[in-house]
Amino acid sequence: MIELPRPYSRSDLVALYEQGLSVRAVAKRLGVSHPMVRYDFQRWGITQRKGKQQSGKANPNWRGGVIFRRGWKLIQNPSHPNSTKTGYVAEHTVVACAKYNLTAIPKGKCVHHINLIKADNSPANLSVLTNRQHKVAHEHLARLAVELLLKTGKVRWNEAILNYEPTVD
């Protein structure tokens, strides 16, 4: 690879960087791209400062320890036994543990939202079930829903498409 001559020397980079300028600021001052300066730092063995620690409250994207994943509200609580590696636990887990006086949801059990609304984490809407009970509850609900829809005429079987379809009122 052919190295092009640089409009600066190693000592120029070091001097500007030691003034507290960032790599981007050094590049701007020298009138070159920051990838070129970054490459030269590596090539000439110049150690870069570590960036500012921006985790938790120091991060400009901090939202008070609350995040949402696939509709679930997760809260930061690294001491909770059910927390993830990143220290978050589902809010419904914390509420259910308090409701049933548990320290954690035991293995093989889960929290069921009675009204099926993930965002409704009120104690009255939560129940702790075994994984099997939870599966059976949802299967039973699906059967009941189909029966109700058929009995009320909201859906009907369409032989042409070999599937159910909503009825037009």
Residues 6+ away with beta carbon under 8 Å from 38:
23
Q: Clarify whether residues 79 and 125 are in a common domain.
A: yes
What is the per-residue pLDDT for 119? 92
Within a domain: residue 16? Answer: yes
Q: Clarify whether residues 45 and 76 are in a common domain.
A: no
Q: Confidence band (pLDDT; 50, 70, 90) for 62?
A: confident
Query: Which single residue is written with the structure tokens 């570590």?
Result: 50
Within a domain: residue 96? Answer: yes
> For the segment 120-136, what is each residue's pLDDT rounded down to a tens digit?
999 999 999 999 999 99
Q: Clarify whether residues 78 and 126 are in a common domain.
A: yes
Half-sphere exposure of 90 (CA within 13 A, CB side): 21
Number of domains the chain is built from: 2
Q: Clarify whether residues 72 and 19 are in a common domain.
A: no
Within a domain: residue 61? Answer: no
Within a domain: residue 139? Answer: no
Within a domain: residue 146? Answer: no
**CATH code at 18?**
1.10.10
Write out the residue range of the structural domain in which residue 38 sits: 1-49
Total number of residues shown for the chain: 169
Within a domain: residue 153? Answer: no
> For the segment 66-113, what is each residue's pLDDT rounded down to a tens digit?
988 998 999 999 999 999 998 999 999 999 999 999 999 999 999 999
Q: Clarify whether residues 45 and 77 are in a common domain.
A: no
Whether the full predicted model's pTM is greater than 0.85, yes or no, is no
Within a domain: residue 145? Answer: no
